[in-house]
Amino acid sequence: MEATLAIHQSRGASVAFIFIYMTDRLTSSVNTPNCDKTYHYGGQAVIEGVMMRGPKDFAVAVRRASGEIVTTCEKVDSTIGRFKWLDKPFLRGTLALIDALALGIKALKYSAEIAMQDATGDETQGSAVNVPGTNDAKNSNRVGDVAVGATMIIGLALGIALFMLLPILIVKPLKASYGLVGWQAAISEGLVKIAIFVLYVTAISLLKDIRRVFQYHGAEHKTINAYEANEELTVENVLRYSKVHVRCGTSFILVVLITSIVVFMFISWKSIFLRFLYKLLLLPVVAGVAYEVIRFAGKHKDCRLSGLLVWPGLLMQKITTREPEPEMIEVAIESLQCVLEAESVSKNEQTSA
């Protein structure tokens, strides 16, 4: 069991640390029977699988070591859904991000539990997979919860250190040496953040496990692109579509970085502690503005301004998405179809009632 935990802490840590900026909010406006025509369909890559989300339901499809695809479909617990008055510009962005992260963690835990069960089966030389509800399954789930929780904490701490503290520490001596004023320091700090982000994503893309996650990320995008084009969801059809998407979470994170430059240009700072505190307090503002920019770009695909706003993110997706294997496309399709079927059943039940 200790060996199993170590294996999945390694895989889970990689995914947990990168899934934050891989969470997508993709706008669908196709005429699909029994489904919401304007909802932001999207998802994220998980360990050997894909999570897809609809207005009220989400599904996770994971391919087991045996080749079988297992799925789970549940209702979405959305903050904005429960408090409609919060669905306002610049406010909904932060709440949507929190909801997406919470859902992402839940999806990641499910995929980690499947991977844990497969690894346990391998270690016991083909023993049966733990049955939900049994003591073995509960123990496995507890170990998975500990592993995912620990890696999420490590990932969050590392993210804060890399993208918040390190740029401040780098720019602080430059500010003193070259007499940089507030806006100059803010621009310098923002450029350092972007450089760190690009280098970080490029570096982790060299890891085998991360490349597979990026392939599943590409499979998710291709499936959504095909769905938005009102294409029949078959592996052959989906493979023809692009692996990049205008409303990918990669674009969101870059817009956040650029927005932070503009916001912090107007805030002077003398100590590293105060600068760090300002960043934490104003993070909801930055996230709110960035969310509205991505939302605008999603609704106005043909607008030149939209293209300019998301162009850097589209370039980054050349790294964060890889060409998926047909089997990965199959998993992404299964996940989206689970969501669409759940929504169709719910609407039929409401109609008959």
Tens place of pLDDT for every residue, the chain, 353 residues? 333 333 343 444 344 344 444 444 433 333 334 444 456 688 899 999 999 998 888 999 999 999 999 999 999 887 777 777 777 887 787 888 788 888 888 898 899 889 888 887 754 333 334 444 445 555 555 655 676 677 778 877 888 888 888 988 898 888 888 888 878 888 898 899 999 989 988 998 899 889 999 999 999 999 999 998 999 999 999 999 999 887 787 878 888 888 888 888 877 767 778 878 888 888 888 888 888 887 787 777 777 887 787 788 888 898 999 999 999 999 999 999 999 999 888 777 777 66
The pTM (predicted TM-score) of the whole model is 0.79
CB 219 within 8 A of CB 330: no
Taking every pair of C-alpha atoms in the chain, what is the biggest distance, in angstroms? 72
Alpha helices by DSSP H, listed for the chain, are 2-18, 79-82, 92-123, 135-160, 166-178, 182-204, 208-228, 235-239, 249-264, 272-299, 304-320, 326-352
For residue 102, with 0-12 CB atoms within 10 Å meaning exposed, 13-18 middle and 19 or more buried, which class applies? middle
